[in-house]
Copies of this chain bind each other. A is one copy, B any other.
Amino acid sequence: MVFAREGFGRSTVEQVCEQAGFTRGAFYSNFTSLDELFLAIWEQRSDEMQSDLAAFLTQEPPPVSSLREAVEHVLSAVPLDDEWYRVTAEFTAHALRNPALRRVMARREERIEAGLMPTLEALLARVGRRVVDPAALGPALVACHDGTSVQCLIEPDNVAVRQRRTDLFVLLVTAHTVEAGSATDTAPQETP
């Protein structure tokens, strides 16, 4: 992917076409600008990943026996794809400057949450836990995923980073759930 290698701003129509195996003539008869192509690619791939995630999660009910295992199973469906995260970082930077793309990013998050939460809740139910506030847990998971993904890719050789990533997810899920029988239905407990 040219955008991952060069950065979006430095990519040229020529480079993209060369790698894709067609010419600039072909490009300009299908798109009007690189921006448009970038958006199209990102949306398509983003949709694919969400479909993959959803498919993976719903496919076979795994025999999880603890909350951590449930989290690990979900995380295993979200690979740390180096190239793809570079493209996403480019897209994020681009979106922060472009209202139209901002909406695309917002939709992406909504769809991730929509695809993730039901399965996650089902998995957690199996280990006897109930999510208290899905509307808070979803965004928190996405934010932590994005934040820790960058950390993992910035220090690819630091295994502790990846370990902490998992721990953080477990922590989040733990704090946002209660034992299934519990009557508590408020926001995550703050002990002090």
- A interface residues (Cβ-Cβ under 8 A, vs B): 4-11, 66-68, 82, 85-86, 89-90, 92-97, 102, 105-106, 109, 127-129, 136, 139-140, 142-148, 150-151, 153-155, 161, 164-165, 167-168, 170-172, 174-175, 179, 187-188, 190-192
Contacts and interface: CB of A to CB of B under 8 A. Distances in A.
A95 B94 CA distance: 15
Nearest to A191: B174
Nearest to A87: B93
Contact of A68 (B68, B136, B188, B190): B190
Contacts of A154: 95-96, 102, 105-106, 109
**Dominant secondary structure of chain A at its interface with chain B:** helix
5 contacts: A66-B192, A89-B93, A96-B154, A109-B154, A147-B148
Greatest chain B CB density within 10 A among A10, A106, A147 is at A147
A168 to B, nearest CB: 5
A174 B190 contact: yes
Contact of A93 (B7, B147, B148, B190): B7
Given A86-B96, A146-B147, 5 more contacts: A7-B94, A8-B93, A136-B164, A142-B147, A143-B148
Contact of A96 (B89, B106, B136, B188): B89
